Structure 1
Amino acid sequence: MAITNKTLAIASASLLVGLVVLGLKLVAWWMTGSVALYSDALESTVNVVTAIVALIAVRLAQRPADAALPYGYHKAEYFSAVMVGVMIIVAAMLILREAVYGFLEPELPEAPLQGLAISAFATIINVVWAQVLIRHGRKARSPAMEADGKHLMTDVISTVGVLAGLVLVYLTGIAQLDAVLAGLVALNILWSGWGVIRESVGGLMDVAVPQDIQKVIREVIAINAEGAIEAHDIRTRQAGRLTFIDFHLVVPGAMSVDNAHEICDRIEAKLREAVKDVQITIHVEPEQKAKHSGIVVL
Structure 2
Amino acid sequence: MAANRTLAIAASSILVGLIVLGLKFLAWWLTGSIALYSDALESIVNVVTAMGALIAVRLAQRPADASLPYGYHKAEYFSAVLVGVMIIVAAILILREAIMGFLAPEMPTAPMQGLAISGVATAINLVWAFVLLRQGNAAKSPAIAADGKHLMTDVISTFGVLAGLALVYATGWAQLDAVLAALVALNILWSGWGVIRDSVGGLMDVAVPGETQKTIREVIATSADGAIEAHDIRTRQAGKMTFIDFHLVVPGAMSVDDAHGICDRIEGQLRKAVRDVQITIHVEPEDKAKHAGIVVL
Is structure 2 residue 249 aligned with structure 1 residue 250? yes
SS in 2 for 1:87: helix
What amino acid does structure 1 have at the position aligned with 2:149?
K
Deviations 1:181-205 (A, max 9, x none): 0000000000000000000011011
- How far the C-alpha of 1:179 sits from its partner, in A, is 0.4
Is structure 2 residue 34 aligned with structure 1 residue 35? yes
Equivalent residue, structure 2, for 1:271: 270
SS in 1 for 2:68: coil
Equivalent residue, structure 1, for 2:133: 134
Is structure 2 residue 145 aligned with structure 1 residue 146? yes
Equivalent residue, structure 1, for 2:89: 90
Equivalent residue, structure 2, for 1:197: 196
Structure 1 residues 1-298: aligned runs within 5 Å: 2-297=1-296
- How far the C-alpha of 1:108 sits from its partner, in A, is 0.4
CA distance in 2, matches of 1:224, 1:164: 57
- How far the C-alpha of 1:223 sits from its partner, in A, is 0.5
With structure 2 as the length reference, what TM-score do the two structures score? Answer: 0.99
SS in 2 for 1:206: coil
What is the alpha-carbon root mean square deviation over aligned residues? 0.6
SS in 1 for 2:247: strand
CA distance in 2, matches of 1:190, 1:9: 29
CA distance in 1, matches of 2:173, 2:216: 60
What amino acid does structure 2 have at the position aligned with 1:55?
L
What amino acid does structure 2 have at the position aligned with 1:19?
L
Deviations 1:180-238 (A, max 9, x none): 00000000000000000000011011111011111110010010101011100000000
Gaps of 5+ in 2: none
Deviations 1:68-112 (A, max 9, x none): 100000000001101100000000000000000100110000101
Q: Detail structure 1 runs of 4+ shifted over 2 Å in the superposition.
A: none
CA distance in 2, matches of 1:266, 1:163: 58
SS in 1 for 2:245: strand
CA distance in 2, matches of 1:117, 1:123: 10
Gaps of 5+ in 1: none
- How far the C-alpha of 1:297 sits from its partner, in A, is 1.8
SS in 2 for 1:280: strand
CA distance in 1, matches of 2:254, 2:199: 44
Number of equivalenced pairs: 297
SS in 1 for 2:109: coil
What amino acid does structure 2 have at the position aligned with 1:29?
W
